Amino acid sequence: MTDKNFVEKAYALAKEQYAGFGVDTDAVLEKMKDVVISLHCWQADDVSGFETPDAELGGGGIQVTGNYPGKPESVAEMRADLDKVFSLLPGKQRLSLHAIYGEFGGKKVDRDAIEIEHFQGWIDWAKKHGTGLDFNATCFSHPLADDGFTLSSKDKKVRRFWINHVKACRKIAAEFGKQLGTPSVHNLWIPDGMKDSPVDRAGYRAILKESLDEIFAEEYPKEYLKDAMECKLFGIGSEAMVVGSHEFYLGYTIQNKKLLCLDNGHFHPTELVGDKISAVLQFLDEILLHVTRGVRWDSDHIVTLNDEIIQIAQEIVRNNYLNRVNIGLDFFDGSVNRVGAYLVGTRAARQAFMQAFLEPTGTLLKYEENSRYFERLALLETMKTRMFGAVWDYYCLQNDVPVGGDFIDEVVKYENEVLNKRG
């Protein structure tokens, strides 16, 4: 157990050190209150959901590896895991739900027929935590998605089913926002695409645009609902063409005043989402982020404090974009303790924002504007080795959550007392 006095003494030294660079660490801790991160429910159970007792992930170019013990087998068990996660995280979190995580009472409710009653339990849970809910249509793991097409399908019956599903999801998300008093971000991702080179790219994209136009014809108050669309470069089984490409959704969201969702695993490994943020926000009011860690491809590894996530946070902080960027996580790993995965990934994302707030941005900008690029580079490198860890530990202490690596013991204890007794 970390000693409180040691943490406070270390913070005092860090505060003095950062002050030498013109950074007020107390002000940084205050700014961290504005960083709200939406946790993705699908890390909890490997994107299986609860439509049926034996629901499993399937289709849509999505894969989860591993079979670590303790996977929740009911909504109650999943909420227990999320309660534990929320209790060990500093700062304010939201929860992002997929449509397959409703409470269906053991009955078969197809996705075009889901209603708010199936998610009222989640609203009550969110009220208990004093937080908001986001939502996602689930356009995969369904027989009508087996051929790789949903909203862009040339089969009218298939297309109608998915249009009705997304309409139902938007209605539910708007009710989330209404009851919880904070807008719900509804994110739309579809797996539509082709494994090998198509002839009629334009035809599929024209159909997708037509489907979206119908879906968004019904408007909801902005204080209840924000609509986002998630682009992708390629997926498993859609290597040659993804219908909802970056260019497609960028054009659609600009024209229709929606949110573009940027997932940093959805682009070529040499492309950086951090570079795209300031570009698209010249034309969009808001965006949604899905923060993950791609290893060579869109593998959705657990987020770590790497250069890519730090650059994303820097771009948001340096440009005062926090009120225009909705931050969500999107990784799933069934090979490790799932509760622990949440904690590692969410803490890493928060640490990236804290590092960005601890930058002497004014000095760096002055160097840049005067073409003093050596000084800019040298100062950026210098800041990497400052006493960041001491500030982070004090932040955790302030938030009454485990400091340093103490959360590891908490996760192991929960595994022994709860997870290992399941199934």
pLDDT tens, residue by residue, 258-280: 999 999 999 999 999 999 999 99
Check residue 301 and give its pLDDT: 96
Q: 259 and 363, same structural domain?
A: no
Q: 377 and 255, same structural domain?
A: no
Give the domain-ending residue among 347, 379, 414.
Answer: 347
Share of residues in the chain with pLDDT > 90 (%): 94
The span from the CA of 207 to the CA of 204, in Å, is 5
Q: What CATH code is carried by the domain that includes residue 136?
A: 3.20.20.150
Single-letter amino acid code for the residue at 355: Q
Catalytic residue among 84, 98, 266, 276: 266
Q: 70 and 108, same structural domain?
A: yes
3-state secondary structure 315-358: HHHHCCCHHHEEEEECCCCCCCCHHHHHHHHHHHHHHHHHHHHC
The span from the CA of 158 to the CA of 149, in Å, is 8
The total domain count for the chain is: 2
Q: 367 and 331, same structural domain?
A: no
Catalytic residue among 46, 134, 192, 230: 230
284: CB partners within 8 A, 6+ apart: 253, 254, 259, 260
Check residue 250 and give its pLDDT: 98
Q: 191 and 86, same structural domain?
A: yes
Give the domain-ending residue among 322, 347, 372.
Answer: 347
Catalytic residue among 189, 192, 276, 415: 189
Asked if the structure places residue 28 within a domain, the reply is no
In the residue annotation, 98 being an active-site residue is answered as no
Catalytic residue among 81, 300, 359, 393: 300
Retrieve residue 314's tokens. 């820097």
Catalytic residue among 134, 286, 330, 333: 330
Asked if the structure places residue 353 within a domain, the reply is no
Q: 411 and 298, same structural domain?
A: no
pLDDT of residue 351 exceeding 90: yes
The CA distances from residue 267 to 56, 204, 264, 292, in Å, are: 27, 21, 7, 12
Catalytic residue among 232, 246, 258, 276: 232
In the residue annotation, 134 being an active-site residue is answered as no
Asked if the structure places residue 139 within a domain, the reply is yes
pLDDT digits (tens, 9 = 90+) for 384-407: 999 999 999 999 999 999 999 999
The residue range of the domain holding 421 is 1-23+358-423
Give the domain-ending residue among 291, 321, 347.
Answer: 347
Q: 105 and 43, same structural domain?
A: yes
3-state secondary structure of 196: coil
Q: 110 and 1, same structural domain?
A: no
Q: 39 and 19, same structural domain?
A: no
Check residue 112 and give its pLDDT: 98
In the residue annotation, 300 being an active-site residue is answered as yes
Q: 228 and 281, same structural domain?
A: yes
φ, ψ dihedrals at 132, nearest 5°: -110, 170
The span from the CA of 138 to the CA of 104, in Å, is 15
The span from the CA of 420 to the CA of 86, in Å, is 20
Check residue 423 and give its pLDDT: 78
The span from the CA of 371 to the CA of 353, in Å, is 26
pLDDT of residue 61 exceeding 70: no
